[in-house]
Chains A and B, each alone.
Chain A
C-alpha cells in the first residue's frame, strides 16, 4: 500500500490530539496559573505569590485528614467492587434461564444519576424514619435506631458501601466483556483433565482476565478518587470534616471559603497524584504482562 502524506498516522490523529489538548491541557495550564497567583474571592488574579497556595494547603491539618480518607475511600471501593463484581460477572456469564433480565437488573443502577442515588440513600439512612433502620428492626438485628450519618464511624463505611454499589454495574460490564473473550474449549479441556472449578478459575479465568482487571482498577481508581456526589449529598464531609475526602475539601475551599488559589493548588496536586499513581500501576501491570 502506498502511503501518501495525508494518510500518515500522525496527520490523522492530529485533529483529535488538538481537540484533546484544547479540552484538557488548556484548563490544566489555567489551573496551574491560578494556583501560583494570589486570587481574590471572584477568581480575579492579583499577581504571583510564589508557592504560597501550595504551602497553605500542605500546612492545613484538614488536608492530611482528607488525603488519608481519600486513600481509604478509593482503596475500599475499588477493592470491594472487585470482590463483588468478579463472582457476579462469572455467574452472569453462565447460561441460565432469565440471564438477560439479570444482566439488565445489574446494569440498571448505572442509569440513575449518582446524586439521585446518594439522595435516596440519605433518606434511607435517616435515623428517625429511614428504611434501613426499620428494615433492620423488622429483621430483629437491632432494637434501637442507629443514627448512621451522625458520626464518621458509621457514616464513612456506609458511604463506601454506596460507592461499591454504584461502581458494580460498570465493572461487571467490563468483566462480562472479558469473560466472553475466553474461548470455551479451554474450559472443556480443563474439565476433561479433571480440573476443579476453583482450579479452572485460578489457572484459566484469572490470568486471561488480567487485562480487564487492570483496566477496571485504573478506571475505577480515577473515577472514585474524584467522586463527589455520594459524600456531599449524605454528609457534606461532616460532622466536623470527619468524612471529607479531597474533592469535598476542594469544593469547600473553592466555593464556600472563596480560596480559589488554594483550591487550584489542591486540584493540581490531586491531578499529579492520580497521574503518578496511574503511571506506576500501569507500568507495573504491563511489566508483569510482558514477562
Chain B
C-alpha cells in the first residue's frame, strides 16, 4: 500500500512538472560562482520572479569561475547554451564578433540606463550598442597590516613605490616568516600584479600605434622594481608558487605587511580573521605621480539564439532593481555599479569600500581586443621568468612584446 502511494505520488509529481513545463516559458541562466552565496542568491531571485510571473520558469546553473569559459565554449558549439549568462567583460568582444551576444538597446529605457554608473556600463558598449550589463565590479587597492607597520616603526602608509620598498624591507626584517610586500606570481592575475607598477611608471598595455607596451621604459622599470623587492627579501620567498589566494591567506595570518587585491578580501577578513588590524590605501604612485588600479567588471549577456528574449529581459530588469542589486553586491563584497545602491548606508558608510571607490578615477580595464587571454598568458610567462631570475628582464620583456605584437596582428 505504501509503495503504491509513493508511486502514485511520483507519477503525479512527474505529470505536474510536465504539465508545468508545457505551459511555462523557460529561461536558463548560467551563473558564475563568486562565493557560496552566489547560488542561493540567484535561486532566491528566480523564485521571486516566478512568483510574480507564474508562467515563467527560471533555471539557474551555477558554474565555478575556472571552468566558466570552457562550459560556455562547449555549450555554444553544441547549440545548447542558456538564455542569459555571466561572462568576464574582457571576453565580450569574442561573443560580439561571432554574433553570439544579443544587443540590448531595444529593451533599455532611459530610466534603465540611468541606474548605472556610466564608467561601468561603458566596457560593454561596442560599436554603439550595449551587449552586456555589469553584474559585478571591483577594483584593486593596497591592504596593509597596521600591527606590522607599528612593529617595524613604519608610520606613514607608503604612497610611492620607493616608499613601499623601504617600508617592505623594514617589515621583512621583523622575522623569517614575515614578508613586507606580498607578491603573487602564479595563476590568475599574475600579469595584473605587474601592471600596478607598470602603470605607475606611465606604461600603457597597448600603445597608441597598436603595439604592446611591454618593451617600454615603464615596463623595464616595473620589472626592476619587483626584482629588487624579491632580491632584497622584501617579498615572501618563492613568489612563483603563490597565487592570489595564497598571498591573501598569508595576509590574513598577519604574515604580510602590504598586498594589492580586490575588495572581497575585507569580507573574508571580517569572517576569518576579525582581529586583524588592517587598512586600505591607494596603490602606490610612480615618480611622476602616475598610478593605476585594475578595474574589472563581469557582465551578464543575452544570447542571440535565445527563444525567450522578452522574458529573459524581464528577469534582467528585476536583477538590476536597487533591492536585488544591493543584496548581491553586499553579499559578494563587490563595488556598487548603481548610484542608488552606492547611497545605501551599507556601502556609503563602509570605509574599506570608500577607499576602493576613491580609486575608480584611476581605474583601467583590460583592453577590449580579441586574444586578450593569450596576451595575458604571454605576459605572465615573461614576468614569471623575470621573478625567477632566469633571464635578463629587458630581453624577456622585449621577446614577450614581440610575441604579443604577433597576436595583435602587427
Q: Which A residues form the contact surface with B (CB < 8 A)?
A: 40-44, 126-128, 145, 147-151, 235-236, 238-241, 252, 255-260
On whether the beta carbons of A145 and B237 are closer than 8 Å, the reply is: yes
Extra A-B contacts (11), CB below 8 Å, given A148-B241, A239-B388: A43-B73, A44-B76, A126-B241, A127-B237, A149-B186, A150-B237, A150-B240, A235-B186, A239-B185, A240-B388, A252-B377
Q: Name the distance in Å between B65's Cβ and chain A's nearest Cβ.
A: 13
On whether the beta carbons of B240 and A41 are closer than 8 Å, the reply is: no
Give every chain A residue within 8 A of B74 (Cβ-Cβ). Answer: 43
On whether the beta carbons of A240 and B382 are closer than 8 Å, the reply is: yes
Q: Name the distance in Å between B89's Cβ and chain A's nearest Cβ.
A: 15
On whether the beta carbons of B384 and A42 are closer than 8 Å, the reply is: no
Interface residues of B in 63-79 (CB under 8 A from A): 69-70, 72-74, 76-78
Q: Name the distance in Å between A255's Cβ and chain B's nearest Cβ.
A: 4
Assuming A239-B388, A241-B381, is B94 touching A41 (CB within 8 A)?
Answer: yes
Give every chain A residue within 8 A of B236 (Cβ-Cβ). Answer: 128
On whether the beta carbons of B384 and A44 are closer than 8 Å, the reply is: no
In-complex Cβ contact of A238 among B77, B78, B240 (8 A): B240
Give Cα A126 to B238, complex, Å.
Answer: 10
On whether the beta carbons of A150 and B238 are closer than 8 Å, the reply is: yes
Say whether B51 faces chain A, with CB atoms less than 8 Å apart.
Answer: no
Give Cα A148 to B241, complex, Å.
Answer: 8
Q: Name the distance in Å between B85's Cβ and chain A's nearest Cβ.
A: 12
Say whether chain B's binding surface is mostly helix, strand, loop, or mixed.
Answer: helix
Interface residues on chain B, number (Cβ under 8 Å): 37
Say whether B307 faces chain A, with CB atoms less than 8 Å apart.
Answer: no
Give every chain A residue within 8 A of B250 (Cβ-Cβ). Answer: 128
> 1/0 per position for B379-410, CB-CB distance to A under 8 A?
01110110110100000000000000000000
Q: 3 tightest A-B contacts by CB?
A: A147-B238, A43-B77, A150-B238
Assuming A128-B177, A239-B186, is B73 touching A150 (CB within 8 A)?
Answer: no
Give Cα A16 to B238, complex, Å.
Answer: 53
On whether the beta carbons of A238 and B237 are closer than 8 Å, the reply is: no
Give every chain B residue within 8 A of A235 (Cβ-Cβ). Answer: 186
On whether the beta carbons of A238 and B384 are closer than 8 Å, the reply is: yes
On whether the beta carbons of A255 and B240 are closer than 8 Å, the reply is: no
Give every chain B residue within 8 A of A257 (Cβ-Cβ). Answer: 371, 373-374, 377
Give every chain A residue within 8 A of B242 (Cβ-Cβ). Answer: 127
Q: Name the distance in Å between A215's Cβ and chain B's nearest Cβ.
A: 34
Assuming A128-B177, A151-B388, A257-B373, is B240 touching A239 (CB within 8 A)?
Answer: yes
In-complex Cβ contact of B73 among A145, A239, A255 (8 A): A255
Give Cα A42 to B75, complex, Å.
Answer: 9
Say whether B239 faces chain A, with CB atoms less than 8 Å apart.
Answer: yes
On whether the beta carbons of A258 and B241 are closer than 8 Å, the reply is: no
Q: Name the distance in Å between B102's Cβ and chain A's nearest Cβ.
A: 15
Q: Name the distance in Å between B242's Cβ and chain A's nearest Cβ.
A: 8
On whether the beta carbons of A44 and B98 are closer than 8 Å, the reply is: yes
**Could you list some 21 contacts between A and B, CB below 8 A?**
A41-B94, A43-B76, A126-B246, A127-B238, A127-B241, A127-B242, A128-B250, A150-B241, A151-B238, A151-B240, A235-B186, A239-B185, A239-B240, A239-B384, A240-B382, A240-B388, A255-B73, A256-B377, A257-B374, A258-B94, A260-B77
Q: Name the distance in Å between A55's Cβ and chain B's nearest Cβ.
A: 14
Say whether chain A's binding surface is mostly helix, strand, loop, or mixed.
Answer: loop
Give every chain A residue within 8 A of B237 (Cβ-Cβ). Answer: 127, 145, 147, 150
Give Cα A238 to B188, complex, Å.
Answer: 11
On whether the beta carbons of B388 and A150 are closer than 8 Å, the reply is: yes
Give Cα A259 to B374, complex, Å.
Answer: 10
Chain B residue at minimal CB-CB distance from A259: B374
Give Cα A149 to B255, complex, Å.
Answer: 20
Say whether B100 faces chain A, with CB atoms less than 8 Å apart.
Answer: yes
Give Cα A252 to B177, complex, Å.
Answer: 34
Assuming A127-B237, A256-B373, is B73 touching A41 (CB within 8 A)?
Answer: yes
Q: Name the distance in Å between B390's Cβ and chain A's nearest Cβ.
A: 8
Q: Name the distance in Å between A128's Cβ and chain B's nearest Cβ.
A: 7
Give every chain B residue within 8 A of A128 (Cβ-Cβ). Answer: 177, 236, 250, 255
Say whether B207 faces chain A, with CB atoms less than 8 Å apart.
Answer: no
Give every chain B residue within 8 A of A236 (Cβ-Cβ). Answer: 186-187
Give Cα A43 to B78, complex, Å.
Answer: 8
Assuming A41-B98, A127-B237, is B73 touching A258 (CB within 8 A)?
Answer: yes
On whether the beta carbons of B385 and A240 are closer than 8 Å, the reply is: yes
Q: Name the distance in Å between A94's Cβ and chain B's nearest Cβ.
A: 42
Chain A residue at minimal CB-CB distance from B67: A255
On whether the beta carbons of B100 and A42 are closer than 8 Å, the reply is: yes
Give Cα A266 to B77, complex, Å.
Answer: 19
Chain B residue at minimal CB-CB distance from A152: B388
Give every chain A residue within 8 A of B239 (Cβ-Cβ). Answer: 150
> 1/0 per position for B313-345, CB-CB distance to A under 8 A?
000000000000000000000000000000000
Give every chain A residue within 8 A of B70 (Cβ-Cβ). Answer: 255
Give Cα A128 to B242, complex, Å.
Answer: 10
Chain A residue at minimal CB-CB distance from B371: A257
Give every chain B residue within 8 A of A43 (Cβ-Cβ). Answer: 73-74, 76-78
Give every chain A residue within 8 A of B374 (Cβ-Cβ). Answer: 256-257, 259
Give Cα A35 to B185, complex, Å.
Answer: 34
In-complex Cβ contact of B69 among A127, A145, A148, A255 (8 A): A255
Give every chain B residue within 8 A of A239 (Cβ-Cβ). Answer: 185-186, 240, 381, 384-385, 387-388
Q: Name the distance in Å between B227's Cβ and chain A's nearest Cβ.
A: 15
Give Cα A258 to B185, complex, Å.
Answer: 24
Q: Name the distance in Å between B361's Cβ and chain A's nearest Cβ.
A: 32
Give Cα A43 to B72, complex, Å.
Answer: 11
Give Cα A258 to B382, complex, Å.
Answer: 21
Q: Name the distance in Å between A228's Cβ and chain B's nearest Cβ.
A: 13
> 1/0 per position for B41-77, CB-CB distance to A under 8 A?
0000000000000000000000000000110111011
Give Cα A42 to B76, complex, Å.
Answer: 6
Give every chain A residue within 8 A of B377 (Cβ-Cβ). Answer: 252, 256-257
